[in-house]
Amino acid sequence: AAPSGTSTPAIQYGTKRIGILTSGGDAQGMNAAVRSIVRYSIQRGLEPFLIYDGYSGLVQGGSKIVQAKWSDVSGFLTHGGTLIGTARCLEFREKEGRRIGAKTLIKNGISSLVVIGGDGSLTGADVLRAEWPEHIDALLESGEITAQEARENRHLMIAGMVGSIDNDLASTDVTIGANSALTRICESVDALQTTAASHHRAFVVEVMGRHCGWLALSAAICTGADYLFIPEDPPKSGEWEDKLCEALKNSRDRGKKTSLVIVAEGATDSELNSIKADRIKEILSERLKYDTRVTILGHVQRGGSPTFIDRYLGTVQGAEAVEAIIRATPHTPSQVIGLLENRITTQPLQQAIELTRSVAERINTKDFKGALNLRSSSFASQLKAYKEIATFHVDGRDIVPENKRINIAIIHVGAPAGGINLATRCAVRLCINRGHTPLLVYNGFPGLMRGEIREADWMIVDSWTVDGGSHLGMNRDAPDDQLGAIAFQLQKHNVHGLIIIGGFEGYLALSTLQRNRKEYPAFSIPLVLIPATVSNNVPGTDNSIGSDTAINVIVNACDIIKQSAGSSRKRVFLLEVQGGYCGYLAVMGGLAGGASCIYTPEEGVSLQRVLDDTKYLKYCYKRELGQSQGRIVLYNERASSNYTLPVLTNIYRGEGGGLFKTNSSVLGHLQQGSTPSPLDRIHSNTMAVSAIEWIQQRAWDSIAEYEAAGDEPALSQKSTLKRKYLPRIFTNSSDSAVVVGILDSEVKFTPVADLIHQTDFIKRNRRAGREWWAFLPGLINVISRETNEQPQS
Ligand code: ATP
């Protein structure tokens, strides 16, 4: 983010005035974007103008165009929809309508526009820009604008932000609103599953997505749906009915009491015949005699408060949109802001729209493979993984030869985090469908030492998509003192690969096993850690599973507390959040919860900083008088050993004087969440599938080496498993003990031996080079503090 607080005009071309409008379908997170653009542009010395009701407001002009002050966007973060209104404007589709819009902008001295909307809205902005010189000339000629106005507004600068719940824009991994819509879907489907189970019912749920199956696919992964229909992957015409029935029947035969089918609204078969929820219901009712209900979620998906991710996207992309406007020259094409591989990007708008439209064109010409390839790289791999584990493969289509089947143990270590059970479920089901044996280790390393290991079957993990906590039981006990007993149990149960799901303790345990391979050959098997901790402090990944769930809990808490603190007026609330020595939760929670100040271990706490913060808050409350709002301060549990929460609370109380009162609270274990968030569920799925694939490959490499040396597989008489032969696995190179992580949106495996060297053991936090969020505290300061108007004294 660029520096703040400058009063010099940053813009090179055109006026200082920047117009902001939301257009097309509303999407949660649009308000966060508007707030960010308004505040960031003020800090950059620009003058933001809100254009109410999209292009319709632009055409109407007058009271629809209002200059925005800093405080006008207070409270925007928590609201769904768009507070500045949106519309579908037919007039703007015509050149005449756009000319009126151009006149409105020029008369208001606005020569830059940030548009937040779908591909139609962004196209409209680009068309206006392309026609701009023509409009200027015509308006000048007709005398509707003066020569000076024409000169001052000679160039129109455009930046687009994609607000769309469908996640259908190419050139960005995720659009603003998609995560919240997915959250609404998961909440609804989770609720449906309990009633479905009570009545042994089948549910067919239709979700939005005319040309894009992202919402449907993600929802199917998150909720463990039995079957899925999306536009990019249509089933063969005339065959899909039988396949659907067969798959659902297989699940019921294994003991499942319910069936769940998710269908995107634009789903078709391979001949482009629509597949509608009612048709699916008919098939299930008639052929399988299931009591089947249809739920069409509709506009519920657009509703509710935005999730953390959408607030985050709106905020960081809003700042980038202003920077794109500032950077633009008359020759720069219109830009669209996106997110690719975890980085905010700026790309030519037209290119992104063309790419998006070519997906729909490919579907219409039945080039489904081409359409799938144009989606993000993770889309196709997630679809493949989903199909492999959605239902039990009675036909054994993915089963590997007997000499390649291995036993994979799964253990949970550390503290619970949302998504741990789902990761286990995915790993178990993938193992079973490939013919491997999943072994569940109960109660962490003490349990492993005692031999608390059981083979998992298909149904035991069935409901584990939605459950928080750990069904296997977990604790922080390290394996260090019991290495012999642990090696014995691994050997006794013929464990060929081990998945540790856990946080920093899991990471240390992985390192311990790896370092002790010489003394204990039983550890010379593929070992992999799936990082799972609310703190997101495990090296080797940008995101650990559980952290998104925790941030959403923090954000919800901030919303509630702010409302309460606002009602009693003049109240500042200090909220302590978890994270150990890693400030990730405080920073992200603060950004999305609209915190006025954030204290983290990375930055530390000084008396001067606290006094500056209280001075700023006094200034705010003095200015607001009777209109005072509640304010939140987020404090990481390890931010300072001297300025602890009670100490800080007292300082705030003392300094607040008569201007504000102070309360404090510790959020504590609530942050583990009762239900994993959709993003954590998707990450859990991705990491678990990748971990199994990786173990399988490492084990097969080892088997191949034994086979090349003429070694037979071992006889398995001593095994507790009903298997004639067991493969021999031995792998002790450092890259056979890894952390599976999501780095820049891609799955990567990093040897723990490499990571451990770079780990800061004093603070137990991640290596500095990978704190990808380190720029955010600066941005939060820019957007949450009105530095331009602060008193000098
Ligand atoms: P969603 O993804 O929710 O449909 P969208 O932005 O694609 O959002 P549209 O209805 O296509 O929604 O477009 C919104 C508005 O943008 C239209 O009502 C119209 O005013 C303007 N617009 C769309 N396409 C064009 C175009 N080709 N030229 C000019 N204006 C357009």
Structure tokens at 774: 């380190």
92 lines ligand 1 (CB under 6 A): yes
Distance 345 CA to ligand 1 centre (A): 23
Structural tokens at position 483: 């290495």
| Ligand 1 lined by 24 (C-beta under 6 Å) | yes
Determine contact, residues 315/593, Cβ cutoff 8 Å: no
Please, which pLDDT band fits residue 718 given cuts at 50, 70 and 90? Answer: low
Q: Is 25 in the pocket of ligand 1 (CB under 6 A)?
A: yes
- Ligand 1 midpoint to CA 304 (Å): 23
Question: 21, 93, 116, 121: which to mutate for ligand 1, most atoms within 8 A of CB?
Answer: 121
SS3 204: strand
| Ligand 1 lined by 581 (C-beta under 6 Å) | no
Neighbouring-strand partners of residue 504: none
For residue 665, the cross-strand partners are 575
**Nearest residue CA, atom 23 of ligand 1?**
120
Show Cβ contacts of residue 547 under 8 Å, excluding neighbours closer than 6 positions.
417, 533, 534, 535, 536, 584, 585, 588, 680
The number of beta carbons lying within 10 Å of the beta carbon of residue 203 is 25
Bridge partners of 765?
A: 760
Q: What are phi and psi of 350, to 5 degrees?
A: -60, -40
Q: Is the pLDDT of residue 550 over 50?
A: yes
- Nearest-atom number in ligand 1 for the CA of 26 is 3
CA of 60 to the centre of ligand 1 (A): 17
Residue nearest to atom 9 of ligand 1 (CA): 120
- Indicate which residue's Cα is closest to atom 19 of ligand 1: 89
8 A C-beta contact, residue 217 and residue 228 = yes
Ligand 1 within 6 A of CB of 118: yes
Asked if 211 and 231 touch (Cβ cutoff 8 Å), the reply is yes
Residue 790 pLDDT grade (very low, low, confident, very high; cuts 50, 70, 90) = very low
How high is the pLDDT of residue 725? 67
Name the β-bridge partners of 749: 740
User: Is 358 a residue whose pLDDT tops 70?
Assistant: yes
Residue range 75-89, pLDDT digits in tens = 899 999 999 999 999
Count the residues in the chain: 793
Alpha helices per DSSP H over 479-594: 483-492, 504-515, 547-567, 584-593
Q: Give the separation between CA 138 and CA 741, rounded to whole angstroms.
A: 57
pLDDT digits (tens, 9 = 90+) for 367-401: 998 888 888 778 999 999 999 999 998 888 888 99
Say if ligand 1 is within 6 A of residue 504 CB.
Answer: no
Is ligand 1 within 6 A of the CB of residue 209? no
Residue 765, pLDDT score: 54
Partners of 22 in the beta sheet? 116
| CA of residue 756 to ligand 1 center, whole Å | 51
Looking at the predicted structure, is the pLDDT value of residue 792 above 60?
no
CA of 340 to the centre of ligand 1 (A): 24
Share of the chain above pLDDT 90, in %: 75
Q: Burial, 507: exposed, middle or buried (Cβ in 10 Å; 0-12, 13-18, 19+)?
A: buried
Q: How many CA atoms lie within 13 A of 208 on its CB side?
A: 23
For residue 344, the one-letter residue type is: I
479-534 per-position pLDDT tens digit: 999 999 999 999 999 999 999 999 999 999 999 999 999 999 999 999 999 999 99
DSSP state of 64: G
DSSP secondary structure letters along 678-736: HHHHHHHHHHHHHHHHHHHHHHHHHHHHHHHTTPPPEE-TTSSS--SEE------SGGG
Is residue 538 within 8 Å of 545, Cβ to Cβ? no
* pTM of model > 0.90: yes
User: What pLDDT sits at residue 657?
Assistant: 86
Q: What is the mean pLDDT of residues 436-453?
A: 97
Per-residue model confidence (pLDDT) at position 5: 42
pLDDT at position 4 is 42
Q: What integer pLDDT is reported at residue 755 of this predicted model?
A: 92
**Which residues, at least 6 apart from 560, have a Cβ–Cβ distance to it below 8 Å?**
none
Distance CA 544, CA 70 (A): 35
Model pLDDT, residue 267: 97
* Tens digit of each residue's pLDDT (9 = 90 or more) over 147-196: 999 999 999 999 999 999 999 888 788 999 999 999 999 999 999 988 87
Which member of 26, 72, 126, 166 is catalytic? 166
Q: Residue 132 in contact with residue 153, Cβ under 8 Å? A: no
| Residue 238 amino acid letter | G
| Average pLDDT value for the chain | 91
Q: Which atom of ligand 1 is nearest to the CA of 122?
A: 6
Nearest to 8, CA basis, from 467, 326, 317, 441: 326
Task: State whether the beta carbon of 279 lies less than 6 angstroms from ligand 1.
Answer: no
- For residue 341, name the pLDDT band (cuts at 50, 70, 90): confident
Banded model confidence at residue 715, pLDDT cuts 50, 70, 90 = low
754: Cβ contacts below 8 Å, ≥ 6 apart? 734
User: Cα of 296 to ligand 1 centre, how many Å?
Assistant: 25
Chain centroid, CA 576 distance in Å: 23
pLDDT at 565 over 80: no
DSSP helix, strand, coil percent of the chain (3-state; round to 5): 45, 15, 35
SS (H, E, C) 420-445: HHHHHHHHHHHHHHHCCEEEEECCHH
The H or E element containing residue 113 is strand 110-117
Using CA atoms, how far apart are residues 415 and 585, in angstroms rounded to an integer? 16
- Is 166 marked active-site? yes
Closest Cα to atom 16 of ligand 1:
121
Atom 26 (ligand 1): residue with closest C-alpha? 124
C-alpha 195 to ligand 1 mean position (Å): 39
Residue 469 pLDDT level (bands cut at 50, 70, 90): very high
Mean pLDDT of 280-309: 95
Q: Is the CB of 121 under 6 A from ligand 1?
A: yes
Virtual torsion, Cα 368, 374, 376, 377, nearest 10 deg: 80
Query: Cα(354) to centroid of ligand 1, in Å?
Result: 14
Query: Could you tell me which residues are beta bridge partners of residue 576?
Result: 635, 666
Say how many Å lie between the CA of residue 738 and the centre of ligand 1. 47
CA 279 to CA 294: how far, in whole Å? 10
Token representation of residue 404: 């390649």
With a cut of 60, say whether residue 1 has pLDDT above it. no
Give residue-wise pLDDT tens across range 730-783: 999 999 999 999 988 789 999 999 999 888 776 655 443 467 888 888 888 888
Contact 491, 449 (CB under 8 A): no
Query: Does residue 613's CB lie within 6 angstroms of at least one atom of ligand 1?
Result: no
Atom of ligand 1 nearest to the CA of 91: 20
Q: Regarding predicted confidence, which is higher, 376 or 259? A: 259
32-74 confidence digits (pLDDT tens)? 999 999 999 999 999 999 999 999 999 999 999 999 999 899 9
- At 7 the pLDDT is 44
Strands 437-441 and 453-455, by their bridges, are antiparallel
Q: Is the CB of 127 under 6 A from ligand 1?
A: yes
Is residue 6 over pLDDT 60?
no
Q: What is the ipTM of this complex?
A: 0.93
- Nearest atom of ligand 1 to the alpha carbon of 92: 20
Instruction: For residue 647, give every residue at least 6 positions away whose Cβ sits within 8 Å of its Cβ, in sequence order, or none.
Output: none
Check if 120 has its Cβ closer than 6 Å to any atom of ligand 1: yes
Nearest Cα residue to 589 out of 652, 670, 501, 504: 670
Which residue type does 361 have?
E
Segment 765-769 long-range contacts (CB within 8 Å, at least 24 positions apart): 765/537, 765/580, 765/581, 765/582, 765/601, 765/602, 766/537, 766/538, 766/539, 766/582, 767/539
Pairing of strands 437-441, 661-666: unpaired
What are the pLDDT digits (tens) for 620-639?
888 876 666 789 999 999 99
Residue 601 CB–ligand 1 contact under 6 Å: no
